[in-house]
Chains A and B, each alone.
Chain A
Amino acid sequence: MKPIPIALTSLVLAAALVPGMAMAADPAYKVAATWQVEGNGPVQALQVDAAARRLYAGRAGGVDVYDIDRGEKTGSVAVEGSVGGLALAPDLRRGYATSPERGTVVVFDLDSLATVRSVPSGGSEPRELEYDPKAGAVYVSNAKSGQLVSLDARSGAKKGAVALGGRLRQASADGRGHLFVADEARDALHVIDTASLKPLGTISVWPGKAPVAVANDVKERRLYVATGNGKMIVVDPDPGQMLSVVDTTGTGASGIAIQYAPARLVRLYMPNADGTLDVVQNAKLTPSLEASVPKAAGGTAAAFDEKTGRAFVAGANGIQVIGK
């Protein structure tokens, strides 16, 4: 309750709006290694199969597979065009990759890395994929056409579709029958009933704008949404509302990766288009910006390995391994 002169009021508010501005890069986070990537264009998608000790990296022309512990490429899956999204179904030994230019989803075998089949995405510019083991489905976010398509996770056959409009990005299933789909154009999350594939409503991510990625803490019932205007929005999916806002330093969020230790979501990694990596800690379910790692890798995707406690960040420079 201290008084402030009017001249300071705007500064006070500005500082409160962008608390991350005051945070310097945390030297505790450093680039442990950089893995070069073959082919043209940056890696746009990353997925970790911690049990198999593999990292999957979607790039122009295919998906590369790395041995996480040795940092060596061990195989690849050919995909026509650039890979825009990846999903893994270890229980089915299946992997999935989108080709935004071709409008297809490639289903591949996780063991042999052979292509099982390539199916139409059901819309234009398919990007992120979400595997829902409870529903036995893979959801395809067709960004440009606003079509969300459900594929049978085993066969790749189309199960259904719903036209949501907007610009669809990452989806996240809660295993209780709800799928949350980021809509970059409408600043909202669509809520979909996974059984009927019908929309149940939308949740605003204000004050975030252009949400692209969603992390779902199913047990704590919280959604962490990376948005394009330098904010991570925490949403309680039950009432469907914002719980808190974390102002980050980067702009143009491109993904989100989460760290559980062991049962609680303790940290989130958000790569940004400007090359920074924001690290948000989640102590006692109170998220706050822990660090901003500058120029990590160009920031197009992130994944996390629970065993080593390291994050993988992809971008134009390759894949960088970030850790303390």
Chain B
Amino acid sequence: MLKTVGRFALFACAFVVLPAMAQDAVRDDALKGKQVLFVVGQTPKGAPNDDPLIRDYLGTLGAKVTLAAATDAAAAASGKDLVLISSTVNARELGARYRDAKVPVVTWSAYSFPLLGMTGDKLHEDFSVVREKPFHNANHADYYAHATSGTNPILKAARIPQGMFAPLLFSGGVTDPSWGKPGRGADVAVVFEGDYEKAAVFSYERDAMMVGDAVAPARRVGLFLGDNSWSILSDAQGPAAEDPKEFAWFSGRRLFDAALRWAVSPPQARVSAPRDQQRAALERAARGKKVLFVRRYDLPWPENEASDQAQLTWLKSLGFEVHTADHMEPDSRAQGMDLVIISASTNKYKLGVKYADVRIPVLLLEAKAVDALGMVTRRRNTDYGVNDHKESLYPPENYVHMVRAYHPVAAGLPPGQFKLYRTPGVLAWSRPPAGAQVIATIPNQPEHATLFAYEKGATMANDMVAPARRLLFPLDAPRFPDLTEDGLAVYGAALQWLLSPAP
């Protein structure tokens, strides 16, 4: 009996500490019975308008749709499960209504992206409507798109694999799609032209940092549709639906459905457990787990050696069975282990591409090796670099900007700035691809991720697929003792996330 109670307590505790593990399920019938506020406008006389079709279509999915005009009060969203904002609305009239609504919002009004805090506000830089006449070639290019990573929740719900596909049916005629350039707190599901900064479908989880310090009050999704795009969203049926490649290729309608279904599904909850419970949960997770700590033996720099030793001591205190390896040893040392930690005391040149393909989680602390492990593309000081007092435009730093406060690795810290280290020092930054989950960026460097992770199966740099979870924690060689209490909590949360089962 006590054993059963103990198991139950362990199970319950795990859900308190790692609530995000329970998410990710988007039901096929998620829209059934949902109250949807559909904010629509007019198109010029004779110009096509898919709003009526969309309204009727939502009805076929079981949603109860109420129409609203741009000038209606935001209170219209009260009691609703979802607000949809069509491209037909006058964004000037709509303004920032629904920006603070604690109701999921899905919009394909590109001019509303900045007003809702989802992108910056510069036309053709932060968002764009790719009109057919002035942007003929780009417009036609947007009949093709790239799904960023099979682990993206909207793509998973839509059953769209990573790769190229056709969201719009070319034979359907002319339409004006749009794109946005969201902040690094977004999940970018689909991009045009393979360009992360031309996101066709992007989303923010509740509590995610959007743009300009706006925090998502509920889920937010930006879509690429123009006034008449919906009716030509590709949709494999008949024999095409039986062919896996055709099914994946013609998947625009499934993408739309999935975006809405994801939006109304329960959001991830931030870690709410106090620190002592987090520590206790980490110790339970660590118990009996084997960690390979890869470092450089016989370091000539005492502070680096001291940092490695402090980490080893801390890891052992958590209950890990810790093994060490020199960076010149083969990565077969990872066999039988549960986790690999690659210390920043290693030398990237000596480490090479070892551990890039190991099928167990890897915590990378040596940020210069992000390209070698396939986590970031290859241009140093462009795709990745450091804030440092030397050889960098960016000064030493000890604060970071939490953009994914809902992520388990955030350890319950709120969105926004927090102190990772006690003193300014070397802090690594990267521009990882869309498959990454960026947890923190560097203040005033919104495009520079400093703490980020990949889910198992996520598409990393150069289309490499993560063999298991991967996480970059920006812990330069001597800095472990300089971690703040919050910083240490995040490090612990990172370990726990790496060891928890992938969904």
Contact = CB atoms under 8 A, between A and B. Distances in A.
A195 interface: no
B40 A241 contact: no
Contacts, number: 117
Interface residues of A, number: 37
A177 to B, nearest CB: 10
A244 B237 CA distance: 15
Given A1-B41, A3-B41, A3-B93, A203 B238 contact: yes
B52 A243 contact: no
B69 interface: yes
Nearest to B87: A1
Contacts of B169: 236, 239, 241, 243
A4 interface: yes
Given A4-B42, A6-B68, A207-B56, A239 B234 contact: yes
Interface of B: 40-42, 49, 51-53, 55-57, 60, 67-72, 88-93, 111, 169, 171-173, 231-232, 234-242, 246, 250, 253
A6 B72 contact: yes
A201 B231 contact: no
A239 B235 CA distance: 7
A178 B370 CA distance: 52
A201 B53 contact: no
A286 interface: yes
Given A6-B72, A240-B240, 5 more contacts: A1-B88, A6-B68, A239-B237, A240-B238, A244-B232
A58 B42 CA distance: 47
B241 A16 contact: no
Nearest to B249: A239
Interface string A149-166: 000000000000000000
Contacts of A285: 171, 173
25 contacts: A1-B88, A1-B91, A1-B111, A3-B41, A3-B70, A3-B93, A5-B69, A12-B40, A178-B239, A189-B238, A200-B242, A203-B238, A206-B60, A236-B169, A239-B235, A239-B240, A239-B246, A239-B250, A240-B235, A240-B238, A240-B241, A241-B234, A243-B231, A245-B231, A285-B173
B238 A3 contact: no
A240 B239 contact: yes
A204 interface: yes
B239 A201 contact: yes
A200 to B, nearest CB: 4
A206 to B, nearest CB: 7
A201 B246 CA distance: 14
Interface of A: 1-6, 8-10, 12-13, 16-17, 178, 189, 191, 200-204, 206-207, 221-222, 236-245, 285-286
B41 A191 contact: no
A191 B53 CA distance: 25
Contacts of A5: 69, 71
Contacts of B240: 201, 238-240
A279 B91 CA distance: 38
B239 A13 contact: no
Given A207-B53, A239-B246, A3 B71 contact: yes
B250 A201 contact: no
Given A3-B69, A6-B68, A244-B173, A200 B53 contact: no
Nearest to A238: B240
Nearest to B241: A201
Contacts of A207: 53, 56-57
A204 B60 CA distance: 12
B61 to A, nearest CB: 11
B237 A240 contact: yes
A236 B171 CA distance: 8
